[in-house]
Amino acid sequence: MPAGDRPRERLWELGAEALADRELLALLLGSGRRGWDAVELAGELIAAHGGLRGLARADPHALVALPGMGPAKAVRVAAAFHLARRVANVGGTERRRVAATADLAAVAAPLLRGLRHERVIVVVCDASGAVLRTARLTEGATDRSLIPVRDVLALVLASGGASFGVAHNHPTGDPTPSAPDHQATTRLREAAAVVGLRFLDHVVVTDGAWRRVTDGP
């Protein structure tokens, strides 16, 4: 490949914005395979997982199924995407404020997107809605979440919170709340009132959307 077309040289001279997705990924891979350069391998890897979003969710063990992708390359790719998710949540959640359901979704989403299983996040706030803490409560199965009300309240009280919200993800990509999601919302709201806490809201998050969960019947 001519020097002027190599991703490393182009990024150095022109900046990362000038590179295509497969060129950026090629820099992580470092090399291709017999008969393929790193850019070609990167393009094949993206296509094999249905695009960058699918690749970001892929387990490292699934990445090595593509010829030319050994464990070292697979873990570099997985680590890069995980770092990107962490960066999305950096910036001081303590300075964030939950004044509306959209704020709750914005705080919790970086901790929930890109997962292949359900996770429950509790966002603990003070009386004014300023975020004191975000905590991972449970890791669930692929088709259901577990929201133990007692554990939620214990976490909020131990953190010195006056209010809280709950969020969980649907790995299927469908943000429609289930019947158990609605029931959990009712239980959380009622239990919070008993102990003098303010329940802010409950949201379902997917990779591309979020939806508020209302109280159950």
- To the nearest whole number, what is the mean pLDDT of the chain? 87
Same-domain status, 80 and 136: no
CB-based burial, 178-212: b 16+ in 10 Å, e otherwise: eeebebbbebbbeebeeeebbbbbbbbbbbeebbe
**Span of 12-16, 35-39, 76-80, 162-166 with lowest mean pLDDT:** 12-16
Same-domain status, 55 and 158: no
Answer with the residue of higher pLDDT: 96 or 124. 124
Strand pairing report for 163-169 and 131-139 = unpaired
Q: Which of 48, 67, 88 is the last residue of a domain?
A: 88
- Measured in whole angstroms, the distance separating CA 30 from the mean position of its chain's CA atoms is 26
Measured between alpha carbons, how far is 103 from 26 in angstroms, rounded to an integer?
Answer: 36
Measured between alpha carbons, how far is 116 from 172 in angstroms, rounded to an integer?
Answer: 8
Number of domains in the chain: 2
Answer with the residue of higher pLDDT: 152 or 217. 152
Secondary structure class of 177 (helix, strand, coil)? coil
Q: Which of 27, 62, 88 is the last residue of a domain?
A: 88
Residue 12 forms part of a structural domain:
yes
Residue 165 forms part of a structural domain:
yes
Q: What is the pLDDT of residue 18?
A: 80
158-211 confidence digits (pLDDT tens): 999 999 999 999 988 999 999 999 999 999 999 999 999 999 999 999 988 999
Q: How large a percentage of the chain has pLDDT more than 90?
A: 60
Same-domain status, 57 and 136: no
Give this prediction's pTM: 0.61
Answer with the residue of higher pLDDT: 85 or 123. 123
CATH code at position 53: 1.10.150
Residue 217 forms part of a structural domain:
no
Same-domain status, 24 and 98: no
End-to-end CA distance of the chain: 64
